[in-house]
Amino acid sequence: MKHFPRIIIFVFAGLQLLRLPLFPQFMDIYYHLQSAWGFIQAGGYSNWDFWEYAPFGRPNIYPPLFHILLALLMKAGAGVVLLAKLLEGGSPVVFLVILWNFIRKNYGEELGFFVSVAFCSSFAFFTFLSNHIPASLALALGFLALGELFKKRVLRAVVLLILCFYTHASVPWFFLLSCLIYGVMDKDHRRDAFRVILYSLLLSLPILTFEFLNLPFIKSVGNDFPVKFHLQVKVFDYILAGFGLFLAAKMAPKYRLFIGLFLAGFIFLSYPFRFLSAEGYVPVLLLAAVAMQGAWEAFKTCIFKAKNILAGILIFFILFVSPTLILDKPAGSSRINYKMEWMDSSLSGILFGKGSSIWFPRMYLPAVDIIKKNSAKDDIIYSGINFSGVVLGALAQRATSNALFPEVPPAVQVDPLAVANIILLPKDLDGRFIKDISLKYKLALVGESEYFSVFRNPLTAYSLKIRKAAFSFREIVVVLFILAAVLFWKKT
């Protein structure tokens, strides 16, 4: 058991390296790369998003830590494509290492073994960790904070939870609520848990206040996303988690943390996919591992050979089978379709090549070359497809007049074509439509790739308006060094 989690980590790391040509597989990383480029233009952290919905922009409500780290790496010379591939490929492995290490140090090698098995159960959760990197980073920071709380190192736990608040908007509340519930149920850690909550909230007030003041700008789109109607339920995992919840309530007080995590997970209910397959799946994973450990203990009364056979069947089932009930409602339909995906574990998903890549160098790189040759660094680009716009903006390092995520609308509503210097229209658009657009804005064709026609707009008088950073990179690095000193100072 002791070496099995290390083998799993090694296997996942190797498979992710082999899959690097497929990455990135999700759109989010391009948004983060473009935001990091915006920070570089500003000279540090900017609380105004001037690189999307340019030239007027919108409030930058997204917590900045991940974008700061990306910007520092980019300033050091790291290529954006390489960063996208390595970060997407490495995020699930890093999270597994931190989660397993937290469990084995605080609950023992045996439960650490079962957690590593349970981690392999859900391909959807594995891809979530890969695709939503700030959330994955925040989950890792949260478990690091819990590890310090268990060691009664309040200051370190506070620092890690603060970093969590500066990484993601919702995940830190998941851990804060978990600490609150756990503190109520475990008197040995109650005082420290409440201190961690109080100090973390006080020291995170700058970002929390900024987010609160900008709430009127945010449009709720959680229940409008099509993913609401494409849900994946790990039925067997939830059955195991139900038994695990029952067992955790009867075990030592430190196991009440799993109950706290389970109850706190309901804050993600407004985003059904996240509740079932992403952040909300974390406590299910842990409770399923508790149930497996309980079953292992119950098997001790069996003949040794029978015990090993039963355990082997269960582990094989989770590692390679792990069925998923998929609920799907097509757009415009009132009927929900159901189907069972029988081979839906992380390992089987990777080995069978599930998931799709959105890295299409033939589509994007020639268009990026045309953009760079025919535009200045302060020019604004527009693509008829929002997703293509942010990809091209991130790769060409140009601001865009449209944006990928609609939660925060532009500060000023304008015609995105009228303010753009460079306009890219997909070639599969109706030819008459392209001609009409060209005549309306008097566009000049400056280049063509296999997939895009690239035009220059000679009539626009707009260009990128860079906002000065609220905090410079020098100030940020000083703060990060101070926090690192607190974390690694032995007496804290």
375 and 342 share a domain? no
pLDDT at 310: 77
The pairing of strands 380-383 and 58-59 is unpaired
309 and 449 share a domain? no
Which amino acid, residue 293? Q
336 and 413 share a domain? no
Number of structural domains in the chain: 2
Rounded average pLDDT over 317-326: 91
Distance CA 84, CA 28 (A): 10
Q: Which two tokens stand for residue 21?
A: 């040509």
> Percent of the chain at pLDDT above 70?
95
Bridge partners (DSSP) of residue 424 are: 383, 454
Q: Which of 20-34, 155-169, 229-243, 349-363 has the lowest mean pLDDT?
A: 349-363
pLDDT at 337: 83
Whether residue 469 is contained in a domain is answered as no
212 and 300 share a domain? yes
What does the buried/exposed string (b/e) look like for 230-253 if buried means 16 or more CB atoms within 10 Å of the residue's CB? Answer: bbbbbebbeebbebbbebbeeeee
Whether 3 has a pLDDT exceeding 60, the answer reads yes
Cis peptide before 134 (omega within 30 of 0): no
Task: Tell me how crowded residue 289 is: count the other CB atoms within 10 A of its CB.
Answer: 27
Cis peptide before 409 (omega within 30 of 0): no
413 and 280 share a domain? no
CA distances from 68 to 31, 52, 62, 132, 486 (A): 13, 17, 12, 16, 20
Whether residue 262 is contained in a domain is answered as yes
312 and 423 share a domain? no
pLDDT at 491: 56
pLDDT digits (tens, 9 = 90+) for 90-120: 999 999 999 999 999 999 999 999 999 999 9
Rounded average pLDDT over 380-408: 90
pLDDT digits (tens, 9 = 90+) for 460-481: 999 999 999 999 999 999 999 9
Whether residue 475 is contained in a domain is answered as no
Per-residue pLDDT band for 308 (boundaries 50, 70, 90) equals confident
Distance of alpha carbon 134 from its chain centroid, rounded?
Answer: 4
- Phi-psi group of 108: left, alpha or beta (phi > 0 → left; psi -120 to 50 → alpha; rest → beta): left
Helix (H) or strand (E) holding 425: strand 422-426
3-state class of 300 per DSSP?
A: helix
Which amino acid, residue 465? K
| Predicted TM-score of the model (pTM) | 0.94
Task: Tell me how crowded residue 7 is: count the other CB atoms within 10 A of its CB.
Answer: 10
Whether 315 has a pLDDT exceeding 80, the answer reads yes
3-state class of 357 per DSSP?
A: coil
Q: Which domain range does residue 259 map to? A: 4-351
pLDDT digits (tens, 9 = 90+) for 449-460: 999 999 999 999
Distance CA 73, CA 55 (A): 26
Please tell me what DSSP assigns to residue 452: E
